[in-house]
Structure 1
Amino acid sequence: MRKPTDPERLYLDFDGFFASCEQFAHPHLRGKPVGVVPFAGVGTTCVIACSREAKKRGVSNVMMIKDALRICPDLILQPQNPDLYRRAHNALLSEIAMVIPIDAVKSIDELTCRLDPSQQQHPLAVGDAIKARLLKLVGPWIKCSIGYAANRQLAKMACKAGKPDGNMLWHPRDMPGPLLALRLADVPGIGKNILHRLWAAGVVGMDDLLATQPKQMRALWGNVTGERLWYALHGYDVQPPVSERGMYGHGRVMPPDHRSLAAVKPISRLLLVKAARRMRRDGWSASRLHLWLGMWEDSWSGSVDMAAISDDPGILDALEQLWGKARRALPPRPVIARLGVTLGELSRTDRRQLDLLTNDEPIRQRLEKVTEAIDHLNRRYGRTVVSVGPWTPPPGDHAGGKISYTRIPRAEDFY
């Protein structure tokens, strides 16, 4: 495996992206502590993102609103606007691509680039050019941190070490010096469970981690991920494995006045249809549907098998079966705070295996044509004008278009 002698990777992370976008779009929020929240007028949820000003006051992401207001009484609660973040993401990527080609978009606010040989000699100049372009064309409200290193893993860690608004270079000749100042928990890929495994094995600091062997790391992780991390931390050119799509789904935190069975069910239908649209758009069919309902002190989940379908009527019929199971299992008048629907066990629609026992091919083809016609009409008019059954958007809207950090929605995800 090759070990670069120059920094070959750039990793960019926008600082407080959601809150920065709100400050960019709304001048009255600039320079003030801002907390982005899921819904307007609801004080029982959490702050999903906060501005630099709020962070300086002690507010953090995923902090309960009541706790955030106690720390920062003048915190401005701004309802989320996912479509704004999507449009900002696309515009910012266009500007960055004028400076350096983008190799991979990792999330709504993170991306990575490859440095060409000339850029490897002066990597900080690339970041300076990106920051100068964004300052000129966007203004000072949306800022980013940038890291450079031999591979993507180290570049991401350098980026994080330079936050906020940093331009941090970890040159291969200086390694592993910068790593020794970090905690194990600062390493992407080391979560709570892995951390406890490392402690149990006597690995309590970065120097211990770097002194391990590749096969030892593989054993601690229980798979090849640990071995890959070892090579990445030691500066090798580790390429990320190609990942395959495993599921399509959506989740939703329910507003306080929409936590009954009667209120949650139509929203589950809407979320499922939006997930199915995305699945069809990518050419997949699903053989399993999963429904999850989260209550304050308990949860319920169930799944049902399907015959590798992608049409809305068939998928919604499967959802009805799951709701029948849920009604029989849940206590009377449950309070459902969270909801999730997932389409899994995917297979390519154009490679569907016929089931000789059910012989559902004629029915499936007819339902797929109906669904295709519905999708065409909705795309043409830019909104949901036709649906199978009721279409009941929840309060706060954005159902199915919510930013999940790991998925960047398209315009059609918002209708």
Structure 2
Amino acid sequence: MQSKARIIFHLDMNSFYASVEQAHDPSLKGKAIAVAGNPKERRGILVTCSYEARAKGIYTTMSVWEAKRKCPELILLPPNFERYRAASKAMFDILRSYTPLVEPVSIDEGYMDVSDVEMEQDPIAFAETIQNRIIRELDLPSSIGIAPNKFLAKTASNMKKPMGITVLRKREVEEKLWPLPVIEMHGVGGSTAKKLAEFDIHTIGDLANATPGILREKLGKIGIRLSERANGIDNRVVDPESVFDTKSVGNSTTLPYDETNIEEIEKVFRRLSKKVASRLDAKNLAGRSITIHIRDVNWKNKTRSKTVSNRLYNENEIFQLAVELFHASWNGDPIRLLGVTVNNVYDKGESVEQLSIFNFEEHAKEEPILKLVEQLQTKFGKDSIKRGIKVKKKASLESKTSFSKDFLDDHESR
């Protein structure tokens, strides 16, 4: 018996932050606006901009000063993350009213598996119903890609913006995707495209027809995965629970000036470490490794990582490891951007810390308490007393940024 064909939607909100601001203040509609950081500092970059701004040559990640030079009438707004989170939650609530199989992947995009939804219309008309409802109730534009898998749905949603609905079938991959440069394929960044070019892979078609053995040799497992995507193959399911699978917690910043002063650099690492530690604490997480990110004045990127034996969540430990990695790798070039990420995170309540000469005294102090707990459990039952309970902490301001997935905590109460 032939299995039922999958119908996957990928919904991508159009210029989300700017659109939310225009919905909040209708006087901004039809105007060139951008959400940006501090316009007085170079690290003020455009997080997003309206389509009216894009028509004037403005684009996301452009510096504030360059954007104002190019478009003097550009209206700059500071980010309002609580407003964006509220709009995101409302959007996903609408999607879940049609099917529970909704997988958020960022604050402004997500997948829906509508294969088993009883539709009174065809999938395109159904997508229009969802798109029009989001406009009617939230005043926010979106694009929807329709395909038999997640990769093709994601690709399709990018084909027509704003307010586009695009169908991409597997049989159309050769005609529509293969002629495109490989850099335009979802999942291929600049560094990967550069590696692929080294062995004469320049288009998505080149990637689709490359020898799998060569791809595995040059890129490892990711090479095989990209080859499958280029051929329209993607067996990933739409998983609503993946939203809670946090793998890393990090923070980065572009420096106001190209920096070579080690004291100033260490101050930046201190601030970043504090923010990362705050976010870990808010989510009751610890990690097993740390990575620092360095971008120099020539825009060359470098990362350095280290795995630790004990759980990593303390601000001072994160700072010391970050600085240690930096000193071991810095060649003296001026620094433009720094980042700190704690990886392989897990719930602190589920961890076991390895004893060492540095922490055994701390644990020894707890021994009488542990014996008392054991005695009470023996007398009254194992569940009569526990060492502690996990209290959901209120996330700090640092943990509610647009660039982390912390906003997805909003989905826990759905």
Q: What TM-score, normalized to structure 1?
A: 0.73
- Look up the SS of the partner of 1:39 in the other structure: coil
The corresponding residue for 1:239 is 236
Closer/same/farther in 2, CA of residues 99 and 208 from structure 1, 3 Å limit? same
**Given the alignment of the two structures, is residue 99 of structure 1 paired with residue 98 of structure 2, yes or no?**
yes
2 CA distance for matches of 1:304 and 1:234? 36
**Aligned residues between the structures:** 382
1:97 deviates by 1.7
The corresponding residue for 2:221 is 224
**Contact 2:8–2:148, Cα closer than 8 Å, also in 1:** yes
2 CA distance for matches of 1:101 and 1:128? 19
- Look up the SS of the partner of 1:87 in the other structure: helix
Single out whichever of 315-324 and 222-231 deviates more from structure 2: 315-324
The corresponding residue for 2:154 is 156
**Given the alignment of the two structures, is residue 190 of structure 1 paired with residue 191 of structure 2, yes or no?**
no
The corresponding residue for 2:383 is none
The corresponding residue for 2:26 is 27
1 CA distance for matches of 2:13 and 2:94? 14
- Look up the SS of the partner of 2:158 in the other structure: helix
1 CA distance for matches of 2:2 and 2:219? 25
**1:43-122 to 2 correspondences below 5 Å:** 45-117=44-116, 118-119=118-119, 122=122
The corresponding residue for 1:308 is 310
Closer/same/farther in 2, CA of residues 114 and 86 from structure 1, 3 Å limit? same
The corresponding residue for 1:279 is 280
Q: Which amino acid aligns with 1:99?
A: Y
2 CA distance for matches of 1:6 and 1:325? 50
The corresponding residue for 1:169 is 167
1:59 deviates by 1.0
1:103 deviates by 2.8
1 CA distance for matches of 2:330 and 2:224? 44
The corresponding residue for 1:248 is 249
| Identical-residue share of aligned pairs (%) | 22
**Contact 1:402–1:409, Cα closer than 8 Å, also in 2:** no
The unaligned stretches of length 5 or more in structure 1 are: 367-371, 384-397
Q: Which amino acid aligns with 1:109?
A: D
- Provide, for residues 360-414 of structure 1, a one-character-per-residue CA deviation record: whole Å limited to 9, x for no partner: 3735998xxxxx99x96973xx86xxxxxxxxxxxxxx54432116553658xxx
- Look up the SS of the partner of 2:407 in the other structure: coil
- Provide, for residues 171-207 of structure 1, a one-character-per-residue CA deviation record: whole Å limited to 9, x for no partner: 3454533324533222112223332343443433344
1 CA distance for matches of 2:262 and 2:7? 53
Quick one: which of 199, 202, 219 aligns to 1:201? 199
2 CA distance for matches of 1:154 and 1:300? 32
1:28 deviates by 2.9
Q: Which amino acid aligns with 2:30?
A: G
Q: What TM-score, normalized to structure 2?
A: 0.73
The unaligned stretches of length 5 or more in structure 2 are: 367-386
- Provide, for residues 59-98 of structure 1, a one-character-per-residue CA deviation record: whole Å limited to 9, x for no partner: 1111122332233221111122222222211111112222
1 CA distance for matches of 2:207 and 2:166? 23
**Contact 2:305–2:325, Cα closer than 8 Å, also in 1:** no
1:274 deviates by 4.2
Q: Which amino acid aligns with 1:133?
A: R
Closer/same/farther in 2, CA of residues 32 and 154 from structure 1, 3 Å limit? same
Note the aligned Cα RMSD (angstroms): 4.4
1:11 deviates by 0.7
Closer/same/farther in 2, CA of residues 364 and 218 from structure 1, 3 Å limit? farther
1:138 deviates by 1.2
1:278 deviates by 3.7
- Provide, for residues 300-329 of structure 1, a one-character-per-residue CA deviation record: whole Å limited to 9, x for no partner: 9988886624664xx325636866998999
Closer/same/farther in 2, CA of residues 210 and 376 from structure 1, 3 Å limit? closer
Single out whichever of 83-92 and 292-301 deviates more from structure 2: 292-301
**1:333-348 to 2 correspondences below 5 Å:** 338-344=337-343, 346=345
2 CA distance for matches of 1:182 and 1:358? 57
2 CA distance for matches of 1:310 and 1:364? 21
The corresponding residue for 2:125 is 125
2 CA distance for matches of 1:299 and 1:221? 20
2 CA distance for matches of 1:73 and 1:345? 45
1:153 deviates by 0.5
1 CA distance for matches of 2:364 and 2:32? 53
Closer/same/farther in 2, CA of residues 154 and 115 from structure 1, 3 Å limit? same
1:337 deviates by 5.7
1:133 deviates by 0.9
The corresponding residue for 2:355 is 355
**Contact 2:289–2:305, Cα closer than 8 Å, also in 1:** yes
